[in-house]
């Protein structure tokens, strides 16, 4: 079955710097890759997603890149702000014969003023 690995587990950056979180997946049939943000005590919420027919997607200060050959995708946050501090999860799913949605282990991002 699908396995999603996520690194790093914690990440500390200065306000204004960039942050990069990386994930790898094992199932080559996976074709949908969302990223979720979870603030303390709250539920995870989608911030950006990418499908396997696209290599990069941007939304203001956040971007996601996908390398299907390497089975690797990354989240990039530029000009970080204190309110970006949260836990970020990557995930992977495939519609082939199943509707599983498997998450990585999470990255705790701290942005210091």
Partner 1 sequence: NAGVTQTPKFQVLKTGQSMTLQCAQDMNHNSMYWYRQDPGMGLRLIYYSASEGTTDKGEVPNGYNVSRLNKREFSLRLESAAPSQTSVYFCATRVGETEAFFGQGTRLTVV
Answer yes or no whether residue 100 interacts with partner 1 by CB under 8 A.
Answer: yes
Judging by beta carbons within 10 Å of its beta carbon (0-12, 13-18, 19+), is residue 43 exposed, middle or buried?
Answer: exposed
Answer yes or no whether residue 51 interacts with partner 1 by CB under 8 A.
Answer: yes
Among 43, 53, 60, 69, binds partner 1 (CB under 8 A): 43
Q: How many CB atoms sit inside 10 A of residue 91's CB?
A: 23
Among 34, 62, 73, 74, binds partner 1 (CB under 8 A): 34
Closest alpha carbon to 57 in 75, 79, 69, 43: 75
* Binding region for partner 1 (CB under 8 A): 1, 6, 9, 31-32, 34, 42-46, 49, 51, 89, 93, 95, 98-106
């Amino acid at each position: 079955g699908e396995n999603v690995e996520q690194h790093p587990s914690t990440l500390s950056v200065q306000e204004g710097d960039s942050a990069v979180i990386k994930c790898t997946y094992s199932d080559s049939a996976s074709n949908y890759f969302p990223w979720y943000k979870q603030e303390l005590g709250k539920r995870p919420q989608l911030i950006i997603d990418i499908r396997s027919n696209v290599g990069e997607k941007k939304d203001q200060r956040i971007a996601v890149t996908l390398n299907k050959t390497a089975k690797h995708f990354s989240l990039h946050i530029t000009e970080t702000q204190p309110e970006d501090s949260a836990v970020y999860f990557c995930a992977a799913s495939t519609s082939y014969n199943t509707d599983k949605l498997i998450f990585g282990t999470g990255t705790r991002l701290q942005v210091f003023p």
